[in-house]
Amino acid sequence: MLPSISLNISNFHEYSNSILKQNGGTIIFEGPWLTNMKIVFTSNAMNVQHITSTKFENYGKGDDFKEIFEVLGDGIFRSDSHKWKYNRTLLHSVFKQVSFQTFIHKTFEAKVDSCLLVFLDHACKKGLQVDLQDVLQRLTFDNICSIVLGFDPICLSIDLPEIASEKAFNQLEDILLTRHIKPRFLWKLQKWLQIGDEKKFVENQKIIDHMVDTQIKCIRSRQSEIKSKINMQDKLQQFDLLTTIMNTEVEKKEQPNSIDDKFLRDTAINLLAAGRDTISSSLAWFFWLMATHPFVEAKILEEIKENLPSKESNWKELGKEGLSKLVYLHGALCETLRLYPPIPFEHKCAMKFDVLPSGHKIKSNTMIVYSLYSMGRVEEIWGEDCLEFKPERWISNKGGIIHVPSYKFIAFNAGPRSCLGKDISFTEMKMVVVAILLNYHIQLVEEHPIVPSLSVILHMKHGLKIMVKKRIV
């Protein structure tokens, strides 16, 4: 089966979707002899519910995932069992703090206002072609570094500087996907010989580790303040996520040995990856859909203006409460995530023998991949118009958001591993949309190709080339 995949690698998402559809939503992929490649590939919602919820304890990340995603260390996305539960509980306790939510909101709001809008205004005045995907990646990388590490690398500025750590993230993502496709012995041999993609992998990991380790040392230098807890309330506006985690553990006086530099490093890498790529990918596809569906853009703009305190109001005056009232915008974002989920595939491994609802028998240590990209295109879930972009499908007759079970709308995962940052993600995406749409009109560069990249993140292969026009109120 590997040759057919190789021939369709440039169109892998659509190819895999068509194969799944032809086979009732589940197939068993077998690689060449002696490669030990056997993967159950599914887009069946009942299978996904079974894996993520019903039999959650039987499906972990597994050895294959841990080998492929070694860069994540023992962080929340790579760990299982007790390590995962500890990571999840700790991060949940931080995320639910009102002070931390306020910090995130103000940090992102300031970044959008002082960097994103300034850059777009410059591009508008100069008549520049802009890769909006690159701009959004820079914005979210600056933001997540500020939130997690208390450090702004300033990737997004008028001259668009090349920042080594930001570039390293991009290259690592591409290599991580090739590790799924290449036979394991081949990429491991390349890693041992330090050649090809695996040499690049090590180089890029060193760049990211250096950035994170440097900031951890800065945070450690403040540890005396954390332990003494002197004037901590006065420092609320200066904290970052790693400092907050250490504060939380000091107050609980639990597992003091868990907060070592490796734990902080692994936590930081996981959160940097999550906070940068998911939001920037989602927003890039959203603005492309807006540019190709002007009637949807018009409705969103009308909704935003209706919820502003006055016609002269600044976009920031909506606040968190005003953003929560933008129902049609919320529906449009959900529809974007349905069709273009930032994580196109999820990877699990069976601990013990099991039988899926589809009837497929799963041996222990079998890799299972469920396709989020394909699940957004299943007619049985979304109807015959599943390929159409229709925000209305998310809005009830009473004007509220229709709830779709997470095992069907899988963009934020499902079951115990559901995304902790879901609400934060929606708030940040809405802030960017409101800020841009109120001030500018996005015009696509003609004949620029828009196709998904082959990566662990659903980026656009050639970026999103646009022209920025000042919106006339």
Q: 132-135 contacts: CB < 8 A, separation 24 or more?
A: 132/284, 132/287, 132/442, 132/463, 132/464, 132/465, 132/466, 133/280, 133/284, 133/459, 133/460, 133/463, 133/464, 134/160, 134/463, 135/160
Per-residue confidence band for 432, with pLDDT thresholds at 50, 70 and 90: very high
CA 452 to chain centre: 15
Q: Is 355 helix (H, G, I), strand (E, B) or coil?
A: strand
Per-residue confidence band for 236, with pLDDT thresholds at 50, 70 and 90: very low
Is residue 138 scored above 80 in pLDDT? yes
Domain assignments of the chain as residue spans, ordered by start: 2-470
CA distances from 84 to 51, 68, 81, 92, 270 (A): 17, 18, 5, 12, 12
In tens, the pLDDT along 277-288 reads 899 999 999 999
CA distances from 109 to 87, 115, 143, 320 (A): 28, 10, 10, 11
Is residue 249 scored above 90 in pLDDT? no
Provide DSSP, 413-427: --GGG--TTHHHHHH
pLDDT of residue 170: 87
Q: Nearest CA to 366 among 44, 32, 51, 13?
A: 51
Q: Is 240 exposed, middle or buried (0-12, 13-18, 19+ CB in 10 A)?
A: buried
Per-residue confidence band for 237, with pLDDT thresholds at 50, 70 and 90: very low
Do residues 20 and 371 touch, judged by C-beta distance below 8 A? yes
In tens, the pLDDT along 257-270 reads 457 889 999 999 99
Is residue 419 marked as binding? yes
Question: How far, in Å, CA of 60 to CA of 118, rounded?
Answer: 44
pLDDT of residue 179: 85
pLDDT of residue 385: 96
Indicate whether this model's pTM tops 0.85. Answer: yes
Do residues 406 and 413 touch, judged by C-beta distance below 8 A? yes
Average pLDDT over residues 420-444: 95
Domain formed by 2-470, architecture? Orthogonal Bundle (1.10)
Do residues 112 and 432 touch, judged by C-beta distance below 8 A? yes
Share of the chain above pLDDT 70, in %: 92
